[in-house]
A = this chain, B = another copy of it.
């Protein structure tokens, strides 16, 4: 085993320490037939005439929280972007930016759970790179992951496929990730049972991506549900009407939001899907989701209508509230 307990600049210099870090930590957890830590690039079999690709950076603080850590988040976040695009994830690349002085045992814990998460999704980490940042310049640990997947969905998905009359669904409660990360920061002395919703959405997307009426899916991460709704209204120039009473928000999330003045509609989720579906198939999609463990709390939450491009939240008492595009960041470093 490695004799060092903390990351030093020498772990990033291309020499012996870096080789030890790679073989004894990264390769130990991430090994797979395609990963060749001695190669500049790897050659992978590819059986499709298309590839689907996405990339994401991760800077969540703290690095570990109830329900996940930056490593599991990187795998879920990146593969979820493929999943909502109608693709089955196949390969990941991993960039690690780690600060001098970082505890190797924590890095190991994070990489081990990243590896486990990838394995559960049958995704291989096929290439990686590590850079060591000087003490004080690295914020601990940042990850960047690129995901490559194969197009699988039958429906032609895309924000431009959305039409007036379409129905908006969400696969589960919103804001759990945002609140779980915030509570993990221990700034407020609040504690609770609240765990991040960070998870793969692949079971949810796969279950519905052959519906001919499926128009669009997105995971509401940074900026939450309200941001996805604004993206939809801007891209389609339609009004998005959301029914507050239908949007699932867990009790403790609602409670923390009320105490601290957060708006759950802008909080990040990391394991939910927003789907837009033709009206005649919305109930069917809802039923498919509700039959899944990941989709028990799924709900039909709104509709698309002709009108000004904006997002209107209809309150239970019949009021209307505009959900504007996000300007101030309620919770930075959430993913």
Contacts and interface: CB of A to CB of B under 8 A. Distances in A.
A326 interface: yes
Interface stretch (A89-97, A112-120, A179-187): A89-97
A80 to B, nearest CB: 8
A297 to B, nearest CB: 22
A227 B38 CA distance: 12
Interface string A294-330: 0000000000000000000000000000000111110
Contacts of A48: 46
Interface range for A:
35 or more
Interface stretch (A121-129, A240-248, A275-283): A121-129
A205 to B, nearest CB: 11
A39 interface: yes
Contact of A13 (B43, B52, B235, B332): B332
A27 interface: no
Interface of chain A: mostly helix, strand, loop or mixed? mixed
Given A9-B332, A326-B14, A328-B10, A56 B95 contact: yes
Counted per complex, copies of this chain come to 2
Interface string A125-142: 011111111101111001
Interface of A: 9-10, 12-19, 38-59, 80-82, 84-85, 87, 91, 93-97, 126-134, 136-139, 142, 144, 146-149, 151, 158-159, 218-219, 221-223, 227, 231, 235, 325-329, 332-333
The 9 closest A-B pairs by CB, nearest first: A15-B326, A14-B223, A14-B222, A41-B54, A144-B144, A13-B329, A146-B146, A137-B139, A55-B93
18 contacts: A9-B329, A10-B329, A39-B85, A40-B84, A40-B85, A41-B81, A41-B147, A41-B149, A43-B151, A45-B49, A46-B49, A51-B51, A53-B127, A56-B129, A97-B144, A133-B333, A134-B139, A134-B333
